[in-house]
Amino acid sequence: MTRWFREFGRAPRILGLDIARGLAILGMAGAHVGETPSFDPLDPSTWLDLVHGRSSILFAVLAGVSIALMTGRSEIPDPERMPSIRLQLLGRGAVIFLIGLALEMLGTPIAIILTVYGLLYIAVIPVLRWSPGKLLIASGVLAVTAPAVLALLAALTLYPTGPGIDLVLYGSYPITAWLAFVLGGMALGRLHVERSETAVVALGIGVGLMIVGYGLGLVGAVAGIAGGESFDSAGTPPSGWSDYPDALAAANPGGAVLAAVFGVVPHSGGTAEILGSGGFALVVLAACVLVSGPLRWLLLPLGALGSMPLTAYTAHVVSTALLGGPGGFPSSNAFWAATAIVLLLATSVWSILFGRGPLERLVGRAAAAMAGRPSQNPSRLDP
């Protein structure tokens, strides 16, 4: 135990990232089971509402950082290593996706992030050798343009539905928005995120993005901008091309595009939300890196939780399903607090006794098996 207190979170592992992951897990748990009033910046009693949407965004940014760390840290991987790296990410993504499906089978109202999270590990394979600058440009382009393009496409096609569309385009975690967060995280990981100077710059950029994004959302709210209606509320669906003009007018493409640009509500996938909440995630991540040194002893339990995010997230969802029972769902701030305490204690004890989390070990072994190489223990390198 003494050795754990002395060595946990030391280089090459980055304790600040584990702390940020721990906050993301606790925040998502609060968004799932907590009861928070609507956010009012002038009323501190409402500030817990910040966990909604922003916690999962922080989780996605950290996923991008982890991918960068696993594939060379600040160095772009050599072409000779790429076949093995691609297969490792494919193995990781597949197992995470399957775990997400298993959690969805529990039937809770929780919007499981792991299915999209697993797909993101696969989606980034073509960009693994991109420079940090190119990653940042791609992230910015997705953040600014993708919501409007998707909204316009949805309106022009009269809001189609389907399992694939709902999963990757218009659900709680639209892959275009989440890919923007992951690409930004990858760039940050390539830029020595563990350095204080990098964290300070990221903190400043995050504040700037918050001002732009939430300012954009405020403008939209003041202007009363709303999106187009769905067929359920707009009228009878069309029965042929002759009905298409009227159905298109009811779909309101212009209003849909404006709503996508100015949308700031959690999980809206709007440009304002991506910029504002993405900036918030940067601020939290940078702050965690900066305080991880002076406050190391105090934050070790949070770091232990963040070192096994997949295990902790799964345990949270499973425990919620077991305690609620079929059709039930416990929801209170007391339950949120109890969940946080149990997770912090359990992951700290597990980390002291066994090191890496059980599901993190499973994912690591799947990645090694997919790449056709002996399984290694990268517990000091990635979550």
Is residue 383 included in any domain, yes or no? no
The predicted pLDDT at position 6 comes to 86
CB 305 within 8 A of CB 236: no
The predicted pLDDT at position 326 comes to 87
Q: Which domain holds residue 286?
A: 2-8+15-371
Cis check: omega of the bond before 309, within 30 degrees of 0: no
Q: Structural domain tally of the chain?
A: 1
Is residue 253 included in any domain, yes or no? yes
Q: 5-54: per-residue pLDDT in tens? A: 888 988 889 999 999 999 999 999 999 999 988 888 888 888 899 999 99
Is residue 98 included in any domain, yes or no? yes
Is residue 379 included in any domain, yes or no? no
Query: Is the sign of the CA dihedral 312, 313, 316, 319 positive or negative?
Result: negative
Is residue 218 included in any domain, yes or no? yes
Q: 80-102: per-residue pLDDT in tens? A: 999 999 999 999 999 999 999 99
Is residue 376 included in any domain, yes or no? no
- Kindly write down the DSSP assignment for every residue of 68-94, as one continuous string: HHHTTTTSPPPGGGHHHHHHHHHHHHH
Is residue 380 included in any domain, yes or no? no
The predicted pLDDT at position 228 comes to 37
The predicted pLDDT at position 232 comes to 38
Q: Average pLDDT by consecutive 10-residue portion of the chain (383 residues)?
A: 87 94 97 90 88 95 96 91 94 96 95 94 96 97 95 92 86 88 96 94 97 94 63 61 91 92 90 96 97 95 97 97 91 96 97 95 92 58 55
The predicted pLDDT at position 383 comes to 61
CA distances from 364 to 17, 81, 114, 310 (A): 19, 17, 16, 12
Is residue 96 included in any domain, yes or no? yes
